[in-house]
Structure 1
Amino acid sequence: AYRGIRYADPPVGALRFQPPKLKLQYEGVVDASEEGPACPLPAPPTYYVDEDCLTVNVYTPTHNSTKQLPVIFFIHPGGFYAMTGRSDLAGPHYLLDRDVVLVTINYRLGSLGFMSTGDALAPGNNGMKDQVAALKWVQRNIAAFGGDPNLVTITGCSAGSISVILHMISPMAKGLFHRGIAMSASPVGKGVEAITHQRHLAVRQAQILNCPTDNSSAIVDCLMTKPWRELGDSLPKFWEFGEGDPVGLWGPVVEPDFGQERYLPINPLDAIKQGKMHTVPLIVSQTTDEFFWKAFPVLQNETLLKAMNEEWERVAPISFMLPKENRAAAVQKLREVYLKGNKLANDKPSEKALGQLYGDSVIGFGVHRLANLMCRHSKHPVWYSEFAYVGNNSHYEDSHGKPQGAAHHDDLLYVFTLSYRFPVISLHSQHSHVVDEMTALWYNFARYGDPNPRGDTPELGGLRWPAMTAADRRYLHRGPQLQVRQNLFEDRFKVWDDLYPIQY
């Protein structure tokens, strides 16, 4: 394990809110024995956080292989405002059972990584440019760790999944990777219009830290003077409807041209449909229940429950992240279809209905749209998958510590160790076969650009998982066993396709 290696100059002082400056040489020997910090975010007081956070971790098998190994490059989840690539959130223990080199990274989060004012002062996407800088670091350096720079699989969950797809569109990332795994999120979904800035979030950030909001330069100048901890800790003040709602705040934008190197010059939907992308073999997946658990804090809190019932027209667009287009019709139709027009109450039917609406609106429909677009327009095969396995642990556990479904991020529990919160799955656990199967699929895909078994991954048995096509929409159902099924949740997603129609 080589940890905390800087891949860019520290983004501090005059480099705050600037694109990353590549680190092309190192003074003397690099100490890679200690974990680097998390990028600024709300964290317990003893947790290691610092603005100087642009680091990679590299993990290699202990044996010295003479042959260069496939590289798996992981982009962490967290809505572009939380989590890290540190080993307590993306531990290498399962994947390193395979002959791969694993790279996990930090990138700037929240306002520090994604502030976009719609002008030259902050065009946006610095956190995405950080990821590109880390991919360039891999191209220059990974051979020295035994990795093959011509066999890089970029993988990501949630915000990391959006990142994987956008790297296929960004001119800056072209040629830096050779396969992609996009778990549980999509840059294309309900909204069809391109987002070119998120000025409202820059203004909100300024207000939270008592900065003037007259113009961009007043905002940026003032935020430049603020301690990084104040920026990182201000996240909770961005929520609009209870804690953690809306799930999505900052994100990548289509950058207007101010003479800067642009990460994203085109609306992702247009890029995919016009084939203006550098595609690679791709696995797209979602979990069965995704954000179903967002229903519980609403239903169990009288104030939030009352607000959602009585002010549905105001609250629904926030919680379900509905775009401006067709909003009035969507708000009504979704209430009809998901809630059957019923008032919400703290009971099982409401839990199921509201949970499904959260899951489909925040993640499910976007992933459905992504898989259906990519299988039509990519020059490479696309495999589609549903993670439905419910083991001993989950990112949502009830008051008795029992999982209630296959939640958002739960697939990660079988690919990485997440020691900050979850126990390691031992070889003797009844769930260890899931780890073996998941890492086998990734290992095959990283090597061959095809997840199917080729003789040296016996744990996959005789699996035949076909690539998805427009006419034959088969997918892998990852439940207690591996099964090939077809037309994932299409009846449920029909209402969304009707509300937000596009030509696939």
Structure 2
Amino acid sequence: MSSPIVDLNEGKLKGKVCKTLNKIQYYSFKGVPYAKPPLGELRFSVPVPSEPWKGIRDATKNCNICAQFDRDTNGIIGDEDCLYLNVYTPKLSTTNSTLLPVMVYIHGGGFVFGSGTDDVIHGPDYLVEKDVVLVSLNYRLGVLGFLSLDCKEAPGNVGLRDQVEALRWVQKNINKFGGDPKNVTIFGASAGAASVEYLLLSPIAKGLFHKALAQSGSSLLHWAQTNKAKEFATKIASLKGKVLQDNQQLLTFLKSLPIKDLIATSMLVLAADTGRGGINFGFVPTIENPVDWEPFIDKSPYELLSRGEFTKVPFVSGFCTREGLLMVARGENVLNKLVKEKDFIEYLPFEIDSSQHTELENKIKHIYLDGKNKYQDEDAFAIDFFTDVDFLGGVYVATTLIAKHNSPVYFYEFCYDGNLNYLKNKLNINRQGACHGDENGYLIKSDKYTKGQPSETDKLVRERMAEMWTNFARHGDPTPKTDSKVITTKWEPLAETGMTCLLIDDKLTMQDNVYPARMKLFESLYKNAYASE
């Protein structure tokens, strides 16, 4: 089948036949529209389902990525017309008895950068070889995806609503690609993982997926939520010489700005907003105040998780040992400042009562300066601190809250350091340990960010990751059976008795209670921050 044709509700698609690294055949369909282009009056609006087309649509080429600032060129790349997805499938079938599990990948990038489009970075090889259908998608980013003006035309969270629209498309169409609409797993890293959690929390996403897997991200993290979207929008207008307080006037003006001008100005506004913690992205998810529209989310994630108000499905969550190595790529200025001054509270993204400063500062110094660290870098304690502030603290707290109301829940720590560690290679971080996002290199083929040829151990870790992730998609259990080489350890779910965790290194081992002193600190920080809710 040189040019496979699939007949969808909207029209016919022509894909192409591809082969994985191991010469296993699969079918690729790229640039499939799942929503109308959000142009003109639809800028900032809830996505509208895509319209039918005539004839056979070519689905063999990469589509637009969503308009965004490009840090490599300091220019604007992409397009507003970007609501497309890709489908990769090992077989085309429409018989219900042979339908395959579906995995929907949500890309990271702080809700401001990235795409799910380019298969040089997001190659499906490792997963489709395991007999699953893989879907990747684009969603609106930055001001386009997360402007919130408390009105129906700009309700906020439309980037997350785009993800919901893509999941609706999957429900309608994935069986035509051999996928089972009754067995859909959502997964992603960083902002993709935070998105996975938001989809658990939103009533409008309920029923569109059946399992969820979040890698190094959470809706609780300071960079994954904001209450300043309108303030940022007002500053965009101010920088363009407009003083607009009225929401409708502000919306009309922002709709009128050329796309490159809008994004460039929004980045200037966000650059002036330092935020707290180590990283900050500005236009990100927000809690809506609905008047005449159905909200994506209208309560804080912490409140919803605490009350058990979320979709109950099998859930995997985890982190990389040295998430904070991300700070090395940011010029080390913040790391160096913390190493020199040891002013930890300055970087906590919580409001701390001044009367508690001294006691808390002493506690934090005891935990991070006096604690054991297997890495010998002078700034190892600072890397641990930013690991917890920007990632692990929120991931751990969210996972414990989810586990109180839901079962099974699996937790992992990825600490393997090899040639496929994704973000270390991408950002040229020459340090020991697994950095933020590094496990993705063992799940998603990324030729662009591979360091030399993978070793035999790299290949084994890659095989393990793909096997466990697709086992979870198929069975809701990442290790339904063990063997002597690949899946050597049974991954036990969290129990009421504690936070059991799978350590993923050159070997698989179960451990109890991840970094207990550090996590106890962040449990109390989150609890105190939301005590009034």
Of 274, 285, 292, the match for 1:259: 292
Give deviations 1:15-48, integer Å, cap 9, x for gaps.
Answer: 1011100115333322111101111112366996
CA 1:148–1:329 in structure 2 vs 1: closer, same or farther (change >3 Å)?
same
* Other structure's SS at 2:511 match: strand
Say yes or no: does 1:19 pair with 2:20. no
Question: What is the CA–CA distance in structure 2 between the aligned matches of 1:150 and 1:111, rounded to whole Å?
Answer: 34
1:129 is matched by which residue type in structure 2? R
C-alpha distance in 2 between matches for 1:399 and 1:107 = 24
Is this contact kept in 2: 1:20–1:126, CA < 8 A? yes
Of 415-424 and 349-358, more deviation after overlay is shown by 415-424
Q: Which residue of 2 aligns with 1:94?
A: 126
1:290 to 317, 323, 329: 323
Corresponding residue SS for 2:527: coil
Number of the residue aligned with 1:345: none
2:231 maps to 1:203: no
How far off its partner does 1:308 sit? 9.2
Aligned-pair CA distance for 1:51: 0.8
- Segments of 5+ residues of structure 2 without an aligned counterpart are 1-27, 370-375
Q: Tell me the number of residue pairs that the alignment of Structure 1 and Structure 2 aligns.
A: 489
Q: Taking structure 2 as the reference length, what is the TM-score of the superposition?
A: 0.82
Q: Does 1:452 align with 2:484?
A: no
Describe the shift of the 1:335–1:250 C-alpha distance in structure 2 as closer, same or farther (beyond 3 A): farther
Among candidates 78, 100, 106, match of residue 69 of structure 1: 100
Residue 205 of structure 1: CA displacement?
3.2
Residue 428 of structure 2 is aligned to residue 405 of structure 1:
no
* Equivalence for 1:483: 509
Task: State, as a whole percentage, how many aligned pairs show the same letter.
Answer: 30
Report the TM-score when normalising by structure 1: 0.87
Q: Does 1:40 pair with 2:67?
A: yes
2:523 maps to 497
User: Counterparts of 2:420 and 2:322 in 1: how far apart (Å)?
Assistant: 14
How many Å separate the matches in 2 of 1:264 and 1:270? 11
Work out whether 1:388 is the aligned partner of 2:415.
yes
Contact 1:391 1:403 in 2 (8 A): no
Gaps of 5+ in 1: 343-347
**1:57 aligned residue:** 86
Is 1:363 equivalent to 2:391 in the alignment?
Answer: yes
Could you give the per-residue CA deviations for residues 295-350 of structure 1, whole angstroms, max 9, x where no partner exists? 5746458xx9569967959xx65x54x133547746973576248899xxxxx765
The correspondence for 2:307, drawn from 274, 293, 296, is 274
In the alignment, the residues of structure 2 paired with residue 452 and residue 340 of structure 1 have an alpha-carbon distance, to the nearest angstrom, of: 34
The Cα of 1:170 is off from its aligned counterpart by 1.0
What SS does structure 2 have at the residue aligned with 1:74?
strand
The answer for the alignment partner of 1:223 in structure 2 is: 254
Which moves more between the two structures, 117-126 or 40-49? 40-49
* CA distance, structure 2, for counterparts of residue 22 and residue 491 of structure 1: 48
Which region of structure 1 is more displaced relative to structure 2, 246-255 or 120-129? 246-255
- Secondary structure of the 1:416 match is coil
- Mean Cα deviation higher: 248-257 or 155-164: 248-257
Q: Against the structure 1 CA distance between its residues 190 and 79, is the aligned structure 2 distance closer, same or farther, given a 3 Å change threshold?
A: closer
Mapped to 1, the partners of 2:526 and 2:390 lie a distance apart of: 14
Aligned to 1:164: 196
After superposition, what is the alpha-carbon deviation per residue over 1:222-279, rounded to whole angstroms, capped at 9, x for unaligned?
A: 211122223334464213459x963342322221122112111332222222222221
Q: What SS is found at the alignment partner of 2:379?
A: helix
> In 2, distance between residues paired with 1:18 and 1:465?
42
Instruction: Give the structure 1 partner of residue 498 of structure 2.
Output: 472
Looking at structure 2, the residues matched to 210 and 466 of structure 1 have their Cα atoms a distance apart, in angstroms, of: 58
- What residue number does 2:136 align with? 104
- Give how far 1:79 is off: 0.8
When residues 201 and 329 of structure 1 are mapped into structure 2, their CA distance, relative to the original with a 3 A threshold, is: farther
The alpha-carbon deviation at position 197 of structure 1 amounts to 5.8
For 1:70 and 1:494, locate their aligned partners in 2 and report how far apart those are by CA, in whole Å.
37
Q: Report how far residue 127 of structure 1 moved.
A: 0.5
- Separation of aligned partners in 2, 1:74 and 1:355: 28
TM-aligned CA distance change 1:465 to 1:230, over 3 Å: same
CA distance 1:6–1:485, change in 2 (3 Å): same
Q: Does 1:116 align with 2:116?
A: no
Q: Post-superposition shift, 1:423?
A: 5.3
Q: Quick check: 2:102–2:184 contact (8 Å CA) kept in 1?
A: yes
